[in-house]
Structure formats: C-alpha cells, structure tokens
Structure 1
Amino acid sequence: MGKKKRELHFRSQFVLYASVIGVVLFVLWGMISPTHLGNTANTMLSWIIEHFGWFYMLVASSFVLFGFIVALSPVGKLRLGKDDDKPEHSFISWVGMLFAAGLGVGFVFFGVAEPIIYYLDTPPGVTPGTVEAAEIGLQYGVFHWGFHAWGAFSVVGLTLAYVQYRKNRPALISSAFYPLIGNRVNGWLGKGIDLLAVISTCAGVATTFGLSALQISGGVSFLTPLSNNIVLQLSIIAIITVLFLFSAVVGIEKGIKRLTNINLVLAGLLLIFVFFAGPTITLLESMVSTFGGYLANIIDMSLTMTPFSESEWLGANTIFFWAWHMSWSPFVGLFIARISKGRTIREFMAGVLLVPTLLAVIWFTVFGGTALEIEMSGIFGLAEVATNEVELTLFYMLEYLPLTVISSILAIIVVAIFFVTSADSAAFVLGSMTSGGKLNPSFLLKIIWGVLIAGTASVLLVSDDGGLEALQTAAISAALPFAFILVIMVIAVTIMMIRDFDLSKKVTRKKQQEELKAILKKEAYNELRDELSDEWREEIRKELMSIGRSNAEMIHFQTSSNSEIVGKNLASAGFPPHVNVSAIERNGEMISPSGSTEILAGDYLYVLVQMEQKDKLLDILKKTK
C-alpha cells in the first residue's frame, strides 16, 4: 500500500471510529437520561438562536445568491467531469433521485402542516385567522422549501462533484478545502472537517427519520385502533430500518433509483387526487398568487428579523429550517454529487435550485391550499390538530375528501418509501464519508450507519417531551459549526472555478490561434506557390521567345511514391533529348536543378519539352514501379 493510500486509510479509519463512538455515546445518553439530554439541548438551542439567528438568515440567503451568480456567469459552461463526459441518468430520474435524498418526506409532512399552522401562529406583523395569514402561510411554506432549502445543498453538491470529477479528489468534505490549505487536508485539520460533517449529517438525517416516523405513526393511528405513541413510532423506525437494508443490498442503480421512480408516480397520483378532489379553481388561483407573492417578498422574508421585540417565531420556524437544511447538506450534497457527473454547472444549478422550487409551489399550494379551504370554510378545525398533533394534519385533511381510506393508505406508502430511500441514501453517504470517499462503501458500513441513525432518531423522540421540538433542537444545534464550513466551501469552489475557467480560456485561445495559423499558413503557401509558378512560367516563356522555339511546351507534373523516376537524379532519369527540367517545387520552395538533383516523391517538376517529344516524356513521367 502506497504512502498516500495509507494516509487516506488512516484518516478514514479515524473519522469512522471517532464518529461512531460519538454517536453511540449520544444514543446511550438519550437512553440513560432522556430528560437531561432534552434539557441540555434546549439550553443550547436558546443560546444559538439568540446569538446566531442573524447568521443563519444571512448565510442561507447568500447561498441562493451564489447559486444564481454561478449559473449565469461564464463558469456555468464548465462540466462536472471531463469535457466529453455525459450525464449518467436521465433528467427525470435525476430530479427524482434528488427527492430520494429526503426532501420528499419534508414535502409530505409540512405540505399541509406549515400553511395551516401559520394561519394561526403567524409571522410577526400578521393578524392570525385572516385571509392575509392564509396567503402568507402558503408563501412561507414555499419559502422554507424553495430556493433557500436547496441553496446549501447546491453549495455542497457542486463543490463535491467538482473536486471528484474535475480534480480527482476523494468524495469528502475536506477535499473542498485543498485550494485553501493544500496537503493539510490529509492531516488532522482535514480529519476534523470530515468528522464535523459526519456528526452534522447524522443530526440532520435523524431529524428526517423522526419526521417520517411521526408521519407514518399518525397515519397508522388514524386508520387503525393503534395509539399514536412512542412505542408505535419506535416500531416504525425498526421496520423501516430493516426494509432499507434490503434496498441497500442492490445499490443506487437498482435500489434507490427503482424505488424513487415508483414513488414519484405514487406521489404524483396523490398530488393529482388532492388537486381534483379539493377546490380546484381556488387552488389554481392560489398557485399563481403564492408564486407571485413568494417572488415579490423573497428578499423581505429572507432578511427580516425582530431585533426590538421578543418573538420566538423565527427561531421555531425559519431559523429551524435553515439550520436543518444546513445540517442535512453534507448528506444531500454528497448524494446529488454522486448522481450528477457529466452535467454542466449551469444545468446542475438549474436542476437543483429551480425545479424543486417550482415543485414546492405546486405541492404546498395544493395540499396547504386545500387544508386552508377546509379550515376557513368552517368545515373542520385543522389548525387545532396541526398545533397539537402535527403529524395527523394530512390525514384529517384527507378525511374531508373522497376515498379517504385509499388516499390515506397511499400517503402512508409514499412516506414509507421516501423513508426507505432516505435511509438508504443516508447510509450510502455516511459510509462513503467514513471510508475515504469511496463511491461504493461496503454493505457493513451501510448497516452500521443505518442502525446508528435509527438509534439517534429514537432517542430524540424519547428525550424530554420528544416529538418535533426535540428533532428541531438537534438540527439547529448540529448545524452551527458546519455553517461556517459551508461559507469556506463557497470561497474554495469559487477559487477552483475561476482558475479552471481562466485555464480553459487560455487553452481555447491557444487552440484557436493554432487553427488560425494553420489556415493562414496554407493560404500563404498556396498564394506563394501560385505567384512563384507564374513567375517561372513567365521567365521560361520569355526564354522560349528569345530563342525562337515556338514548338516547345511547359509541362507541370507532380511525382508520387510509386513514380519510377523517384530516387533517380535528373541525368539518369532517361528523359528524351532536348528536355529541360527548368524548376522543381519541393516543400513550398522552388529549386533550380542540375543533373545531379535527385527526384523525390511529391516534387512538382516544371519541364520544358519540344512538342514532338511530349508523348515520350509523359510516358516516362507516368510510369510506375
């Protein structure tokens, strides 16, 4: 094993053991003293929101701005791979696998819950229970799952794809820092960066696991006599963990991709059903106004805080989502980097930023708009359900649409498959991050991380009051240190792209110059040859006239490698008497020959011959070996 390979192996082993020990200790802490874990996390949460809430708001918006600048700039032409690499997956499958990274769970869980919660628990300055509150609720739902959600994912995904496929570096977060710290990425600093990324990813993915378990538990308790409690939630996590192991066995191509394509169809059917079974015209109007309001207010929503009032709304909602997405970004970013080889940066950014945002507008408007219509029409108080048992909101909404049982079962299946693909993706990513960046980590590593993530989600649900609050606390706390890493990653990938673009311009310019030189050289050669030929013909014409040999003719003949006269000198070529080789054109130069001049392949011979000797001369010239 070479020195470089030994260093990479040692580094991956350190990150693996350190992160596994850290997560195991965290799980044991939650099992032994869940109340103490909950109290500690809540204290940390309050401190982070108070001192770094502004940082989360500013950084999340910066990532979105960075993505659009990169996509629209000349560097957007660069390809994530070699210049002739092509995408490995179709665009539809690629977009589908983006949602396999876990965003599907968020859409299903919060698509109904967020707009209806914000109808009563409104952002600062909005009156609860009004039409304005309903409109703002839909806009904030899209806001939390649109551009800003994918801004952090795009930073990590772009950077990792760039260093893997253009720089041939391992698929590790630390690889992105090579332009800034050089070979120190192979030392303790690089190990610390990768370890922090693994811990952050665990927290983000555990949050997704917990949400999925809550959603499925709510659906099962809604359709069956089973109680929606911690026992059912933990049982669901255990079952899903076993199911994901089966998916992990067959890998990305057959496992995640196949399940994703199936679930895209099922999720699409659920969306179409709610759209047509719900208030269709109202939803269409809401879709237009929500999209317009989102675009019109995005800057205000991105940068508004409450420095002169005591409001917990931003911390419990917007800041939570930004932190969750950032803690999740190593996982989602590495996964989408893995499936994005061969795409241009512009295509990558368009797919990662624009497509999910448009889908968020459609999904949140259809599900959230239907829930708001039920609430505002006085049919049923969904807002109260969302406040007390948020995981049941979707199923109570479906109860007031036709085919309740079928649609509820379909919703549970959609969440369950998203749960499995999220677990599979998470185990793959964490396995890669703790095995030196291998694109195909071992099955054993996938099992280890699948079990550890399930354990982390379980203790978060058990700790203190558990539920959604505990999951939010874990995400916000783990995201803070990694947010600083994300900022530095933006700087690093910008440096790499600018350098490569400048190099690409130089290579292109040099190639164009060489092509232009070749064209000019050829044109100059042809012009010179024509000029010289004309000059020689004119001189010989004058010579003929001066000696009165009007019965002579000038013959222009090019030899080939098969010509019999090639290799002979003019004296031994056997030309008839009264034949004069006046000039030879060779490699662009005109030669005034003598009897000892050797005839070469490719020579242009200018031969002065009397008319009666012409046929005999041509026979000799055209004779081949």
Structure 2
Amino acid sequence: MLNRLQRLLGLQTIPGVFFTSAGIAVLFVALAIPFDEAVAGFFGGLTAWVARNLGWFYIVTVSFLLVFLLGLAFSRFGSIRLGADDSRPDYSNLTWFTMLFAAGIGTILMFWGVAEPVSHFANPPFSDVLPGSARAARDAMTISLYHFGLHTWTIFAMPGLAIAYFAYRHHLPMRISSLFYPVLGDRINGPLGWAVDVIAVLGTLFGVATSLGLGTLQLNSGLNYLLGVPVSGSVQVMLIAVIASIAAVSVALGLDKGVRRLSQLNIILAGVLVAFVALVGPTVFIAEGMVQGIGDYLDALPWLAFWTQTFSETNWQRKWTLFYWAWTISWAPYVGIFIARISRGRTIREFIAGVLFAPTVFTLVWFGVFGLSAIHIEMNGQVALAAQVEQNPAVAIFAFLQALPFAQFSSSLSLIIIVIFFTTSSDSASLVIDMLTRRDDQPSLVRQRIFWAAAQGVVAASLLLAGGLDALQNVITALGLPFCILLIFMAVSLFRALRADSRGYSVDELVQGRAYDTVSSTKDVKQEHHDVS
C-alpha cells in the first residue's frame, strides 16, 4: 500500500521510513493544535518523570562519550582516514568549520549568549553562592561554557564520526541505521533498521523545530523591542512561515549553492558582531575574564561532568542541563549526518579535534564577549538585564545591545544573523532528513526536501501555540531519551568495527562472525605464530 502511495505521489523514498515519520508528525500537529493544553500537560508530566528518574543517565552518557572520543583520537585508530587511505578532505578547514558551526549551535548561541550567563549570575544554582557576587559571575561563565563547550560537540561528533566511518570506509548508506550494521547485518534494510531511522527523523524534526521556535521567539521579541511589533502567536507563525520559505529556497539550491554560501556569510556577520561588541564594550574586562574563564572551565569540568544535583531539591538541572543535553541529542542525527557529509577524507584524529575543539574555542570567545559584557553591565547597574531576562529571555541580546553605542546597527545585524542561522539549520536539516528517508540509489527530489522544510515550520508553530518556551523544553527533554540510548549502541558498534578494521577484517566479516572476540582471537593467534616464525 505504501509503495502504491509513493508511486501515486511521485516520490523517491523508503516508504516505511518516510510515511511513518510523516504520519507521526502529522498526528502530533493534529493533536497539538486543538488539544494544546492536554498535549502540554502530557509532555510536562513525562519530562518531570524523565528528569526525576533518568536525569543521571543523560549526564553520565554524554560524559562517557566525551572520554570515549578523546580516547579514540589518541589511540592507534586516530590515523584511520574517513574514506580511502589516499583520500583528502573535500573542503578547506575554514569552509568546513563555518558549515558545521552554522548548522550546529549558531542559533542557540544567539539566544543564550547573553541570557544564560545573566540568569545564572542573578540566580546561582548553588545555594551557598550570593546572587550578583564575584563568585556568582565566575560560576555563571563556567556553567555556560559547560553547557555549550565540549559536551555539546561530543553529542554531535559521536554520530558524525560513526556515520562518516561506515559511509566512507565501508560504503554503507549515510543513515543512522547503517551504524548498527555490525550488529544487525542486512536487517538494517528491514523493519528494525527503519525503526532506527524513524527515531532519527523524528528527533531531527522536533529538535530543529525547537530551535526554530526559540529563534522565532527571539525574532518576535527583537522586533517588538526595536519596532514595537506585537508579541503574539499570529506574528510568530508568520515569522516561521517567512523563515521556512527562505529555507525552502536554500534547500532547493542544494548543499554547495545554498547551505555553504549562507554559512560562510553568517560566520562573517557573526564575527563582525563579536568584534564590534569586544571593541565598544569593556574590552580589558572581556580579555581578563576570558583568560580566567578558560581556567575556571577546565578546572570545574571533571566534577561538572558528573554533577547530578543529588543533594538539592530544586529543578534547576532539569530546566538547564537536562534540557540542553536532550535538545542536543534529539537533533544529533541531523548535525551528525551533516558533519559526516562534509568530512570525507579527514582522519579520525582530525575529525575529533576539529569537531570538538574548533567550535568550542569559538563558543569560549562568544560567551567571553557577550556573557562577560552583559555581566559587567549588570554589575554596574547600566541596564536591569537580569530582570528583563527573567521576564523574557528572548529579549536578552537586544536589551544588552541597547546599553552599547550604535545600538540600532548592532540590533539590526543581530536580527539578520538570527534569520540566517536558523535558515541554515532548517535547510541543512531538510537535506539530512531527505537522506534518512530514501535509498542512496534514489534521486534527491526538491519537493521532498521542501516538504521536510515545511514540516519543521509547522511543528515549530504547533509547539509555540501549545505553550511557548515551556512546551519546547518539555517535548524535547522527553523525546531525546530514545536517541540517547542509541548513542551508546553507536559507540559500541563503532569500536567493534574499528577493531576489526585495524586487524584487516571487513565489516561484513564482522557481521558474519558475530562472535567478534572469537574471530579476532583466532587471527591474533595466527599473527603471533607468524611473528615467532
């Protein structure tokens, strides 16, 4: 029946993945709009249960994956190239960085770059820290860097590395199900593999929709702050429609003509904004704070990585850390596939170093410039940023820029950057979802990519109408759990394949043997006998 429907619509897909994912998305929208309070209540309760019972699982999983990736980079596997042994990268380092950053957390930094440090400064998560104190300022910067530094990029790097390895080294389809080939074998092309890809599609769809929702809230707040445009659901839906239309045009142009050019433009504009704030803001304070902030972050990272707020009865970690991890995990399939798509030819060591550390350095600079400047303004009483952030975090960056010279210029530039950032997120996500829902031998149809771009906008609008920021946080915290579990299996599968690869076995031999230890030990014995001889 699904094959007949596909032929009728003129699509090129894996029907079990495409129609299941689209059907669930349509069902969610159909329920969320008329029953918004019931849907918000359901996901609110589900999120509370996940945070109360499985918050520790999110924390330990992400920290374990960071250690695992660093171990791979420094191991003998680090020299394995993602592709043929003589292959070289398709893109220069600078182009590669701009593309992965713009498709990663550019939108998030624009939203939280001012809001999060100021929020932690005014309301410290630790009971023994006085709000507005020097210790509160240090902790605010440290926690912000923890949320957007190595751990965030670990979540993106893990699926990205695994996908690139299996796609370019073993010529498997660039889908999440391919990562389980060493375990499932050819069953990745049946219902089990389809189920994995459906989870990846839905995680991507809702994760990017959350980003679009946050970006829309910020755009609406910025337009209200600067031009008096009313803050309302109808305005937000209109903004989503405009952005989805721009993303549809970009996704129709493809990766090189659309996504790459927008990414390069936006990283330049973001660099201009950072340089502007650094020059007109408290420059010396920023420089000193960034140096100290790096030390504080590295010093606190070991215990923050395993901090679960065990001895506190507040729900701070649910609202912040668990939301971030679940949100990032939910759209890790999309960012992972996108990063894999642009990373052919790099070694595993180059990939891990680039994906983990290059964006983290930019994040350190971003929070150093915006976060420290905002804290400096709050400490000196220039603008009551904390009160505005508490009331509406989406307006934070615009309220902050009003305290600096040339506020109209910088605020307008910020609006442009926000639009392009979440346009690149939407169009690159549409490209990835299309890859997840079709076979490699099927053409990528423009109408399919446009459908997924529109679907992101519709889901984002539904989430906003169902409860705004709280609904966005609750839905994504609950839906991130299935893919969090997949990340662990992903790491195990990659490690098994790398061990087989280093011993001269193909991934097919690993599948056929199944009992990997028996196969490898036999070969090791033969190798040892040869060495003795």
TM > 0.5: yes
The one-letter code sitting in structure 2 at the alignment partner of 1:121 is N
The equivalent of 1:615 in structure 2 is: none
The equivalent of 2:316 in structure 1 is: 313
SS in 2 for 1:166: helix
* CA displacement at 1:229 relative to structure 2: 2.1
Contact 2:326 2:480 in 1 (8 A): yes
- From 311, 335, 340, the counterpart of 1:337: 340
* CA displacement at 1:438 relative to structure 2: 6.5
The equivalent of 2:291 in structure 1 is: 288
- From 112, 115, 138, the counterpart of 2:114: 112
* CA displacement at 1:209 relative to structure 2: 0.7
The equivalent of 2:471 in structure 1 is: 470
The equivalent of 1:404 in structure 2 is: 407
SS in 1 for 2:504: helix
Structure 1 CA distance for aligned equivalents of residues 155 and 397 of structure 2: 28
Q: Is structure 2 residue 305 aligned with structure 1 residue 302?
A: yes
Identity of aligned residues (%): 38
Structure 2 CA distance for aligned equivalents of residues 23 and 438 of structure 1: 26
Contact 1:102 1:421 in 2 (8 A): no
SS in 1 for 2:254: helix
The equivalent of 1:358 in structure 2 is: 361
Contact 1:212 1:415 in 2 (8 A): yes
The one-letter code sitting in structure 2 at the alignment partner of 1:148 is H
* CA displacement at 1:469 relative to structure 2: 1.6
Contact 2:251 2:449 in 1 (8 A): yes
The one-letter code sitting in structure 2 at the alignment partner of 1:230 is G
Contact 1:102 1:419 in 2 (8 A): no
Contact 1:64 1:148 in 2 (8 A): yes
Superposition pairs of residues 171-186 of structure 1, within 5 angstroms: 171-186=174-189
Contact 1:432 1:438 in 2 (8 A): no
Per-residue CA deviations over 1:456-497 (Å, capped at 9, x if unaligned) read: 11111111xx22221111211111011111100000011111
Structure 1 CA distance for aligned equivalents of residues 228 and 440 of structure 2: 46
Q: Is structure 2 residue 496 aligned with structure 1 residue 495?
A: yes
The one-letter code sitting in structure 2 at the alignment partner of 1:366 is V
- From 354, 376, 384, the counterpart of 2:387: 384
Structure 1 CA distance for aligned equivalents of residues 362 and 78 of structure 2: 23
- From 424, 428, 432, the counterpart of 1:425: 428
- From 92, 95, 113, the counterpart of 2:94: 92
Structure 1 CA distance for aligned equivalents of residues 33 and 413 of structure 2: 34
Q: Is structure 2 residue 269 aligned with structure 1 residue 266?
A: yes
* CA displacement at 1:302 relative to structure 2: 1.1
Root mean square deviation, CA, Å = 1.9
The one-letter code sitting in structure 2 at the alignment partner of 1:92 is L
Structure 1 CA distance for aligned equivalents of residues 202 and 394 of structure 2: 27
* CA displacement at 1:249 relative to structure 2: 1.8
Contact 2:224 2:231 in 1 (8 A): yes
Per-residue CA deviations over 1:48-107 (Å, capped at 9, x if unaligned) read: 001100000000101111111111111010011111111111100100001221411011
The equivalent of 2:18 in structure 1 is: 16
The equivalent of 1:148 in structure 2 is: 151
Normalising by structure 1, we get a TM-score of 0.78
Contact 1:38 1:470 in 2 (8 A): yes
* CA displacement at 1:135 relative to structure 2: 1.0
SS in 1 for 2:171: coil
Structure 1 CA distance for aligned equivalents of residues 400 and 309 of structure 2: 33
Q: Which has the higher helix share?
A: 2
Contact 1:172 1:437 in 2 (8 A): no
The equivalent of 2:173 in structure 1 is: 170
The one-letter code sitting in structure 1 at the alignment partner of 2:393 is V
- From 230, 234, 243, the counterpart of 1:227: 230
- From 460, 468, 487, the counterpart of 1:457: 460
After the TM superposition, which of the residue ranges 12-21 and 226-235 deviates more from structure 2? 226-235
SS in 1 for 2:324: helix
Contact 2:82 2:344 in 1 (8 A): yes
Show structure 1 runs of 5+ residues with no match. Answer: 1-5, 507-625
> Closer, same or farther in 2 for the Cα pair 1:283/1:297, shift >3 Å?
same
Show structure 2 runs of 5+ residues with no match. Answer: 1-5, 507-519, 521-533
- Paired positions, count: 499
- From 88, 100, 103, the counterpart of 1:101: 103
The equivalent of 1:27 in structure 2 is: 29
Structure 1 CA distance for aligned equivalents of residues 35 and 385 of structure 2: 35
* CA displacement at 1:207 relative to structure 2: 0.8
Contact 1:79 1:342 in 2 (8 A): yes
Q: Is structure 2 residue 211 aligned with structure 1 residue 211?
A: no
SS in 1 for 2:33: helix
The one-letter code sitting in structure 1 at the alignment partner of 2:25 is V
